[in-house]
Chains A and B, each alone.
Chain A
Amino acid sequence: MKDRLKKIREEAINNIKSVDNLDKLEKIRIKYMGKKGELTLVLREMGKLSKEERPIIGQLANDIRGEIDKELSLARERIKEELKAERIEREKIDISISKKSKRLGHRHPLLSTIEELQDLFISMGFSVIEGPEIETVENNFDALNSPENHPSRDLTDTFYITEDILLRTHTSPVQIRAMKEMNPPLRIVSAGRTFRFDDVDDTHSPMFHQLEGLVVDENITMANLMHTIDIFIKELFGKDMKTRFRPHYFPFTEPSAEVDVSCFKCKGEGCPVCNGTGWSMELLGCGMVHPKVLKNCGIDPEKYSGFAFGMGIDRITMV
């Protein structure tokens, strides 16, 4: 009987070790350990043994049963791991494929530049205001101290609806509205559509966009204007950007300046893009609000001063 037990043990363990799926493993379990399993049958025959043999064989049979049990569970784990590995291998996909089924829309680049600029100025304490596209000659030219015979007033420069009403040629009339409607201190920016008599081609359009800023308070100086523009340029284009304030002429500011910034291409070294000057030209126009303009809006120029700046968004969007 001892030999039979040992044979069962050897056979069972060999079978278990070579099995490769759970069904077969179960069959093996039944074959040896089931109700009619070989080991069970052997144990049932224990009664036939002598008193002396019984405990020895019994012990041996229990050991073997334990051993087979252990092998069975090891094999079960092994097979599960194998199956998992197999599945993972089978599930390999080509991760280079793009589905391209979902899409985010785009904001119009010009309008998103305006958003960006406005947010920048909001962070500097400016408030955003808006004005109409159709304006009065009064707000667009007269109140802004534009000389009566200034060429920009011509029919070949400005779109008119009537003699007194036009499509605004710049965002500056919003300044006038702000100064007439609100009391200093004022810190505002405004952006929007503007119109000039320009034929349509790759670089010209009868409609373009401007952003305009205005500060009016007591003791506002040119030094404040330059500081504000400096910060703005550095925030927008990077800390290493230099600005240059070049005296210029606008009817509504005095002193007036145009602002150049380091050439975007060469960062100031001088290259063909900037005609070797190192400067990107005319990014922005600015100046101290003309006393006549303040007066036109009912603000006392002896008490208050202010600065204004304006820029073409179409140009900034391109850089």
Chain B
Amino acid sequence: MLLPIEWLKEYINIDADTKTLADKLTLSGSHVESIISLDKGIRNVVVGKVLKIEKHPNADKLLITSVDVGDETLQIVTGATNLKEGDYVPVALIGGKLLDENYIDKTNFRGVDSYGMLCSLRELGFSDNIIPKSQRDGIFVLKGNYKLGDDINEILNLEDEILELEITPNRSDCLSIVGMAREVAATFNEKLIIPKIEVLSEKGNVKDYINSVKVDEKLCNRYYVRVIKDVRIEESPLWLQLRLMKAGVRPINNIVDITNYVMLEYGQPLHAYDMEKLRGNHIYVRQAKEGEKVKTIDGVERSLKPSNLVIADDEGAIGIAGVMGGMDTEITEDTTIVVLESANFNSKSIRITSKEFGLRTEASARFEKGIDPNLCEIAAERVCQLIEQIGAGIVVEGNIDVFKNPVDQKIIQLRPDRVNKLLGTKLSLEDMSKYLERLELSVVKKGDNLEVTIPSFRLDLNSEVDLIEEIGRLHGFHNIKTKPLVGVLTRGKKPYGKIIENKAKLILQGLGLNEVLTYSFGSPRVYDKLKIAENSPLRNYIKIMNPLGEEYSAMRTTLIPNILTLLSRNYNYGVKECFVYEIGNIFIPKELPIKDLPIEKKMLSIGMYGCGDFYDIKEVIEILLERLGMRDIEFSREENNPSFHPNRTAKISYKEQPLGVVGEIHIDVMGNFDIKERVYVAYLDFDMIIEEAVLEKRYKPLPKYPAIMRDIAVVVNRDVLVGEIEKIIWQNGEGLIEDIQLFDIYEGDQIMKGKKSIAFSIIYRSYDRTLKDDEVNRIQDNIIKDLENKFDAKLRS
């Protein structure tokens, strides 16, 4: 909302400079986002009168003018075509300055000297969207008589400043100059000066023009009509145009300008119809008929639905109520009789309609938030007054006022102790009353309490706590003395799951993995890209009703596509290596379509390319789980996961429960995600990790006795897993094996086809004695025997 200071001062006397005004308003609740200065540094531009216009001898598109600027007459060359002799125009004198440090010099245009420049509104700092259409393509012609040589800054009041305010949605009453003046008055404890609204002379009878108004009572609480006759459509006087432009509204013609002016002034949107274009003499406020059409003033023909409230005459819709008027009944240069509408439409209905048509106008924005129905009359009368004042027409006597539910006076009980208890203040009853009265609330003491009567324009005040807020903000939050929280001392805690999660993240960070964060939703096409079976439960995803697009429409049931997409992006940006993880939720519906909230399951996913192989990603998982105290991890072949390489993928289980999968991504899937390098991905059920992790610290003393190291090399069938052999070694270790290190796997010439040789170093150590060779030899023998029995292993010499 734009608040020009000069306009504001019509309703209130304040001396404070603009900065102070802005700061104080901000602290009392009207947030000033910026102070706009109209002074764009324009200097030495004065009023001149065009005395003579002649053709340029050497250029068809240029004119030579003689302009009287008071103390001299200047020859000025211009390209403008909208001038006539006798016009008053802004003249930038030599040495004068326009926008952007643009200084005026004597210039020669094709052999003719020019001693200055005639200016358009744009050149004086007004932006295109508020300049009247008639002024857009030419020199700004001032209407009326001005003293020649007067500074244009003064005439246009360019010293004025404008506050740009953020008005919260509950304070629609502040979307007006008067509403803001009221806030300024309350903030500065000043008196609001409301101009007396009266129409001096009225002629004729409204009934001669409009016979009746029929209103849908549910969707329109009040409809107030006045008629103005003998209307002369022309440009508004400069003061009116200037105020509109400063408030961000483009001047159109005197009647429309006045309705806009009063809307800005009081916050009540108004609409003017051309009486002679109405078919019949009735007005209807009703729901549109299915398929009914109306052409709005922006020139678009719109098809209506019953959810749209329309204004209609005897034959059909003539405008969309509260949103935009119709083109057929629009005010034009030929209009002589005006029907003025000042109505109170249902805010929800307007909001829906405005949204349906994607039409958000100054009017609809105000109706959406709700307006005091008492304003209908005040605003309409104010329009009549202004029309009379500028001589734009003659106000017809009488009005039509359909007002179904006049507002009841709201009275709220306020308990003063409650105020101090909530704010933490020690305000007296008098202070409280004083603050409320500044806001035009009337306060009566009733016993210990205050009985507060709310004026009709404060739609937002409905309960005690609303009043407490008003007292708080006028007292000033910054004047509340802060106090520390007291009460029983509590120890802040983190949920156990969070502690495990943080520990896991710390471990992964230490192993060099970067944490990533991806959307909770994605494309449903990823299941095909991952080659996931048609009947897989992974495809039972929850669908967003109104997604940003298909690619953001499916709540994820797996983190793999997110991590693959991220790896692919890095890969295609030329990042050579990538090792990342994400801990995030997947969403599992209990049924589809869902009736209850789904299960949100926390998953860990890890992705990698360019910095290792299967064993590197597997090692990360091994270290992670070991550090989280999960020691009984099993890896077994996973050959039927369609997204993974069937021979390079393992199922991870913990205590025989599936925990996750780790492996190389299937070559087809790599292609689908546009990566031309081997990619490794793992996913683990993090909720299970939280459940099973053991955080107790185990202490193991440093060894006191020496270790014995023995190597062992066996030849086994090619498909025997190293893990299986290691398991046998451990089993035979009698608790004396400290570590087993695989140091060689060999297949080739020296070995029979279909076989491989595997070599380990086994480290034996006891914590209570020095081991003897005999003991270790016996264990070694047992291991070899067991391997021979179970895997037909042969000791390799």
Contacts and interface: CB of A to CB of B under 8 A. Distances in A.
Interface in A28-46: none
Interface stretch (A8-16, A68-76, A84-92, A252-260): A252-260
Contacts of B424: 221-224
Given A247-B28, A257-B477, A221 B516 contact: no
B300 interface: no
A249 B171 contact: yes
B495 A129 contact: yes
A210 B476 CA distance: 28
B492 A126 contact: yes
B29 A248 contact: yes
Nearest to B585: A133
A141 interface: no
A127 B490 CA distance: 9
Contact of A224 (B484, B498, B521, B542): B484
Contacts of B555: 134, 161
Given A107-B515, A165-B594, A215-B485, A222 B544 contact: no
B598 A106 contact: no
B563 to A, nearest CB: 13
Interface in A231-262: 244-249, 254-258
Nearest to A249: B168
29 contacts: A105-B514, A115-B502, A125-B489, A127-B492, A128-B495, A132-B597, A132-B600, A133-B587, A149-B347, A154-B355, A155-B545, A155-B546, A159-B544, A159-B545, A161-B543, A185-B488, A187-B492, A206-B519, A222-B425, A223-B483, A227-B484, A230-B482, A247-B27, A247-B473, A249-B169, A254-B466, A254-B469, A255-B465, A255-B477
A214 to B, nearest CB: 12
B477 A105 contact: no
Chain A interface residue bracket vs B: 35 or more
A172 interface: no
A200 interface: yes
A182 to B, nearest CB: 12
Interface string A118-130: 1001111111111
Q: Tell which of B348, B485, B544, B598 has the most Cβ of chain A within 10 Å.
A: B485
B371 to A, nearest CB: 14
Interface in B491-527: 491-495, 497-498, 502, 505, 508-517, 519-521
B155 interface: no
B509 A134 contact: no
Nearest to B418: A302
Contact of B480 (A105, A136, A219, A223): A223
B351 interface: yes
Contacts of A155: 545-546
B493 A227 contact: no
Contacts of B472: 222, 247, 255
Q: Tell which of B423, B477, B483 has the most Cβ of chain A within 10 Å.
A: B477
Contacts of B548: 197, 199-200, 206
Nearest to A251: B170
A104 B351 contact: no
Interface in A83-118: 102-108, 110-111, 115, 118
Nearest to A130: B495
Interface string B571-606: 000000001000001010000011101101000000
The 4 closest A-B pairs by CB, nearest first: A223-B424, A221-B424, A122-B492, A247-B29
A50 interface: no
B27 to A, nearest CB: 7
Given A134-B555, A162-B594, 7 more contacts: A162-B545, A167-B544, A206-B519, A221-B421, A221-B423, A226-B480, A255-B423
B481 interface: yes
Chain B interface residue bracket vs A: 35 or more
Contacts, number: 202
Contact of B593 (A110, A162, A223, A230): A162
A224 B545 CA distance: 42
Contacts of B521: 167
Interface in B431-489: 463, 465-466, 468-469, 472-473, 477-478, 480-485, 487-489
Interface in A125-165: 125-130, 132-136, 149-151, 154-156, 159-162, 165
B704 to A, nearest CB: 32
Given A104-B509, A104-B512, A105-B510, A165 B597 contact: yes
A161 B484 contact: no
Contact of B498 (A130, A135, A154, A288): A130
Contacts of B514: 105-106, 108
B413 interface: no
Contacts of B512: 102-105
A159 B548 CA distance: 9
A230 to B, nearest CB: 6
Nearest to A245: B477
Contacts of B469: 247, 254-256
B336 to A, nearest CB: 40
A296 to B, nearest CB: 14
B168 to A, nearest CB: 4
Given A165-B597, A305-B421, A105 B579 contact: yes
Contacts of A151: 169, 351, 368
Contacts of A244: 27, 478
A170 interface: no
B548 to A, nearest CB: 6
A217 interface: yes
Nearest to B600: A132
A160 B553 CA distance: 11
B648 interface: no
A265 interface: no
A290 B462 CA distance: 13
B26 A246 contact: yes
B422 interface: yes
A111 B515 contact: yes
A207 interface: yes
A291 interface: yes
Contacts of A291: 463, 465
Nearest to B167: A249
A248 B520 contact: no
Contacts of A221: 421-424, 483
Interface in B728-774: none
Contacts of A183: none
Contacts of A288: 422, 465
A275 interface: yes
B428 interface: no
Given A221-B483, A222-B422, A187 B490 contact: yes
A185 B490 CA distance: 10
B280 interface: no
A62 interface: no
Contact of B478 (A159, A220, A245): A245
A246 B545 contact: no
Nearest to A222: B423
Contact of B468 (A149, A254, A258): A254
A193 interface: yes
A128 B493 contact: yes
Nearest to B551: A200
B598 A134 contact: yes
Given A104-B510, A121-B492, A255-B468, A222 B579 contact: no
Interface in A174-197: 185, 187, 193, 195, 197
Nearest to A118: B494
A317 to B, nearest CB: 11
B511 A249 contact: no
A299 to B, nearest CB: 15
Contacts of B587: 133-134
A254 B465 contact: yes
A21 interface: no
Contact of B542 (A122, A135, A161): A161
B594 A161 contact: yes
B36 to A, nearest CB: 11
Q: Tell which of A107, A221, A255 has the most Cβ of chain B within 10 Å.
A: A255
